[in-house]
C-alpha cells in the first residue's frame, strides 16, 4: 500500500520560495502510470488544486498559480516536489500531496497527512 509524506519548512518569508517534498513509500513515483498531485487548504477554508506531475514527467499547473509553481520528480529519491515562488500571506496553507485513485478521472486516492506552511516575516 502506498504512503505519502510531506516535508519542508513550516515558515517561509514573504517573497521567498516555498519548497516541499512528498516522499512516497510502497510504490515508485516513476512507474505505474500515476498522477502525483499537490493540493492546498488555506486555514478554515476549502481545498485548492495546485497541479500534478505524471510518472513520465508531464506536468500541469492550475492557471491561477501557473506563473509561480514548479512540480518536479526525483526518481532516485522516490519523491516529488513543489516549489511556489514569490509567496505572500495568501499562500499560508496546509499543503497536501496525493496520488490518483483511478486514473485522471477517478479522484485523489492516497493522501499525505499534510504540512502547514506559514508565510510570515
Partner 1 sequence: DIQMTQSPSSLSASVGDRVTITCRASQSISIYLNWYQQKPGKAPKLLIYTTSRLESGVPSRFSGSGSGTDFTLTINSLQPEDFATYYCQQSYSTPMYTFGQGTKLEIK
Q: Quick one: 104 exposed, middle or buried, by C-beta within 10 A (0-12, 13-18, 19+)?
A: exposed
Using CA atoms, how far apart are residues 95 and 27, in angstroms rounded to an integer?
21
Cell 506563473 found at: 67
Nearer to partner 1, 76 or 102 (CB): 102
- Contact set for partner 1, span 9-68 (CB under 8 A): 46-49, 52, 60, 62-63
Using CA atoms, how far apart are residues 94 and 73, in angstroms rounded to an integer?
21
Tell the smallest beta-carbon distance from residue 50 to partner 1 (Å).
10
Nearer to partner 1, 16 or 59 (CB): 59
Nearer to partner 1, 76 or 105 (CB): 105
Using CA atoms, how far apart are residues 117 and 94, in angstroms rounded to an integer?
6
Tell the smallest beta-carbon distance from residue 106 to partner 1 (Å).
5
Using CA atoms, how far apart are residues 117 and 13, in angstroms rounded to an integer?
10
- Contact set for partner 1, span 57-116 (CB under 8 A): 60, 62-63, 96, 98, 101-102, 104-109, 111-114
Binding site for partner 1 (CB under 8 A): 46-49, 52, 60, 62-63, 96, 98, 101-102, 104-109, 111-114
Amino acid at each position: 500500500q502506498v504512503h505519502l509524506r510531506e516535508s519542508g519548512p513550516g515558515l517561509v518569508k514573504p517573497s521567498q520560495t516555498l519548497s516541499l517534498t512528498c516522499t512516497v513509500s510502497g510504490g515508485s513515483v516513476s512507474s505505474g502510470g500515476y498522477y502525483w498531485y499537490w493540493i492546498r487548504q488555506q486555514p478554515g477554508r476549502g481545498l485548492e488544486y495546485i497541479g500534478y506531475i505524471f510518472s513520465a514527467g508531464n506536468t500541469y499547473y492550475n492557471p491561477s498559480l501557473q506563473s509561480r509553481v514548479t512540480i518536479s520528480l526525483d526518481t532516485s529519491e522516490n519523491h516529488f516536489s513543489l516549489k511556489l515562488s514569490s509567496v505572500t500571506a495568501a499562500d499560508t496553507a496546509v499543503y497536501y500531496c496525493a496520488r490518483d485513485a483511478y486514473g485522471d478521472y477517478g479522484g485523489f486516492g492516497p493522501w499525505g497527512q499534510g504540512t502547514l506552511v506559514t508565510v510570515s516575516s
